[in-house]
Amino acid sequence: MATDPFLLFDEWFAEARASELNDAEAMALATAGADGEPSVRMVLLKGHGPTGFVFYTNEQSAKGDQLAENPNAALLFHWKSRRRQVRVEGRVERVTDAESDAYFATRSRDSQLGAWASDQSRPLDTRTTFEARFEEVKQRLDGQDVPRPPHWGGYRVIPDRIEFWSDRPHRLHERRLFTLVDGRWSEGLLYP
């Protein structure tokens, strides 16, 4: 067995990018705050490797609040076209400001402006209010580079468990589980 889970993820991710109709990098992110209540939503994978899986968001959003209270998360990649999924569990840390700045600079201008205009996860009275805020930010920053908002950045999920699930006929699926033990990955199988 002794496969590196990150190399296996690279393989599966490359295959998914070639076959998924939309957003092979979409992943469900599950978090829980201090109250233990779980919450899940879709985010986009923006980097991955042996140091973990990276996504970006408004740090004052519900997920940002929950990660501040409980820096642990789970991810789920479901690639329907490949009949595969990958589950990742681990602790979460913020990426550096330099990493956040570099990624923010690659976003479309409207996405950058939207990061300033949105109070993500907070109540909104009408869509018109948000659109007006977007237009105000657009006018204010016209002709300028859009800086990264101080409340916007990245998170890295540093896994201690990674499960690779493959569909098999008659629900006799294959489940390969990698667990981090004393700094080394150990692989085993799970019953489907």
The structural domains of the chain, with segments of one domain joined by +, span 5-107+150-190
Position 140 scores a pLDDT of 97
Position 158 scores a pLDDT of 98
Classify residue 122 by its DSSP letter.
S
Residue 3 has pLDDT above 80, yes or no: no
Q: Is 171 a catalytic residue?
A: yes
Average pLDDT over residues 153-158: 98
Distance CA 57, CA 77 (A): 18
Q: Which of 41, 122, 171, 175 is catalytic?
A: 171
Q: Give the predicted TM-score (pTM) of the model.
A: 0.94
Average pLDDT over residues 115-136: 95
Name the band, by pLDDT with cuts 50, 70 and 90, for residue 30. Answer: very high
Enumerate helices (H) and strands (E) in the chain, giving the number of each: 5, 9
Provide the CA 185 distance to its chain's centre, in angstroms.
22
pLDDT digits (tens, 9 = 90+) for 98-110: 999 999 999 999 9
Position 21 scores a pLDDT of 87
Distance CA 162, CA 186 (A): 10
Residue 37 has pLDDT above 80, yes or no: yes
Quick check: helix, strand or coil at residue 92? strand
How far, in Å, are 26, 31, 32, 72, 76 from residue 66 at the CA level? 20, 6, 6, 9, 18
Average pLDDT over residues 73-94: 97
Position 2 scores a pLDDT of 55
Please state the CATH superfamily assignment of the domain spanning residues 5-107+150-190 in this structure: Electron Transport, Fmn-binding Protein; Chain A (2.30.110.10)
Residue 1 has pLDDT above 60, yes or no: no
